[in-house]
Structure 1
Amino acid sequence: MEVWDNLQQVREKVRLAAARAGRDLKQIKIIAVTKKVEVPRIREVVQGGVIDLGENRVQELNDKITALPADIHWHMIGHLQTNKIKYVVGRVDLIHSLDRFSLAEEINRRAVKLGVAARVLVQVNTSGEKTKYGLSSVELPDFLTALRDLPQISVQGLMTIAPYAPNPEEVRPYFRELRLLADRHGLEHLSMGMTNDFEVAVEEGADMLRLGTAIFGSRVY
């Protein structure tokens, strides 16, 4: 019941944030982040109507894909190494963490081999933190231009990870910057907002929320 109760609370918070921003709730997708979550607990959230699941680690992703229903939409949200791409392309709906051209080339190579289009989000480090992956806002235009030479890469939008802040209002500028970048480049989707700050992310235009602790509770890493 804990997962179900948490999910209901999250949905209500998303509804209220969307109402404050004058947004259509149907446009906002909750992605349940399943890192270090056991399969039985993941099944609870799937039974609660969440069919978008996000994984940070390739090994966990592959184990869970085989253990859970085939109609789940999987999202790879963690940092990716090029040697792991063969386990991801063709198995997930969306890669959220494209952050360098060598990775894009490998994704494209694998997608060509499989005859699929690889849907991706470009990760942008809007806060400029050295501990986070992602392109700078300045690097983004040239990167997007370069991706046009990779025919099997389909850029769907942008992703960012905001710094942790006790007051979520402090991270609003980072979400706003991502939205402005997406608008500038004609990109549709924004993956931003986690447990600590997802309500602000909704107000700033997020349509994909990556929520782990808010749904499953604290986990031991």
Structure 2
Amino acid sequence: MVGINVAANLKRIRKEIPESVTLVAVSKFHPVEVIQIAVEEGVTEFGENYVQEAAEKINRCRDLELSVHWHFIGGVQSNKIKNIAGHFDLVQSVDNLSHVKKISEVSLEKNLTQNILIQVNVGDEKTKSGVSFKDLVSFYENAKKERGVLVKGLMCLPPLYAEISAKRKYFQLMKKYFDELRLEVLSMGTSHDYLVAIDEGSNMVRIGTDIFGEREKR
């Protein structure tokens, strides 16, 4: 039954989003068997929040020879960076210059370049990570100096309970900075608001619940 639901959900979502928008399926707390169903339906990008959980899934999917790209979308912690850099195709949640430097150092040690996005705290929420709009340009200018990382774009998670009109304004501001900095990836929009985000210029959405259903509480 789960497989039928996932397949049906993906068919509906694909009808709603343009081909130019990358769909990242947020698979946190969902088993590899469910990821495999999504892969069979054509999904290639998956987002994970926790390093250890992701590592187990990455290894399982490799054993199953699934063609998958992994996105890290959880909070970056200094002591986990060695297990993040080089293990994910894109780290979407970078908001600290010391983390940028550490990711760069680890990446250079591994002889690779780590793709990253800068997470923006669009609502200036004290409980949420992210760079403020006022600091964004200087953060980007400093981050792009690091040889072991490539800043591909911006990511945001607007206040969960904000009105759609407020979210639209946040997304518009994100698009403004995205255009000014001439970046490639604008990751905004989740199950709550992805259609509005796309309407305002998002080219990458992160969808979990609308694909896989509610997660088990842990």
**For this structure pair, what is the TM-score category when the shorter chain's length is used for normalisation?**
over 0.9
Superposed CA offset, 1:153-204 (max 9, x none): 1000000001123753431111111110111111121011000100001101
Q: Given the alignment, which residue of 99, 106, 109 partners 2:105? A: 109
SS in 1 for 2:216: coil
- Counterpart residue number, 1:191: 187
1:51 aligns with 2:44: yes
- Counterpart residue number, 1:67: 60
Of the structure 1 ranges 76-85 and 142-151, higher mean CA displacement relative to structure 2 is found in 142-151
**Preserved CA contact (<8 Å) 1:52 1:74:** yes
Superposed CA offset, 1:121-169 (max 9, x none): 0011111111110000111111111123311110000000011237534
Query: CA-atom RMSD, angstroms?
Result: 1.3
Superposed CA offset, 1:65-118 (max 9, x none): 011135211000111101111111111110001100111011001011011011
SS in 2 for 1:32: strand
- Counterpart residue number, 1:217: 213
Q: How does 1:129-168 map to 2 (within 5 A)?
A: 129-165=125-161, 167-168=163-164
Q: Given the alignment, which residue of 5, 12, 20 partners 2:8? A: 5
Percentage of pairs with the same residue? 36
- Counterpart residue number, 1:18: none
SS in 2 for 1:108: helix
**Preserved CA contact (<8 Å) 1:165 1:171:** no
SS in 2 for 1:112: helix
- Structure 2: distance between partners of 1:114 and 1:94: 16
**Preserved CA contact (<8 Å) 1:191 1:208:** yes
Q: How does 1:8-23 map to 2 (within 5 A)?
A: 8-14=11-17
In structure 2, give the amino acid aligned to 1:160.
C
- Structure 2: distance between partners of 1:164 and 1:13: 22
Of the structure 1 ranges 89-98 and 63-72, higher mean CA displacement relative to structure 2 is found in 63-72
- Structure 2: distance between partners of 1:107 and 1:70: 26
In structure 2, give the amino acid aligned to 1:142.
S
**Preserved CA contact (<8 Å) 1:96 1:120:** yes
Q: Which runs of 4+ in 1 moved over 2 A?
A: 165-170
- Tell me how many residue pairs correspond in the alignment: 211
* TM-score, normalised via structure 1 length: 0.92
* TM-score, normalised via structure 2 length: 0.93
SS in 2 for 1:27: coil
* Cα drift, residue 208 of structure 1: 0.9
- Counterpart residue number, 1:34: 27
**Preserved CA contact (<8 Å) 1:168 1:196:** no
- Structure 2: distance between partners of 1:142 and 1:192: 21
5+ long unaligned stretches in structure 2: none
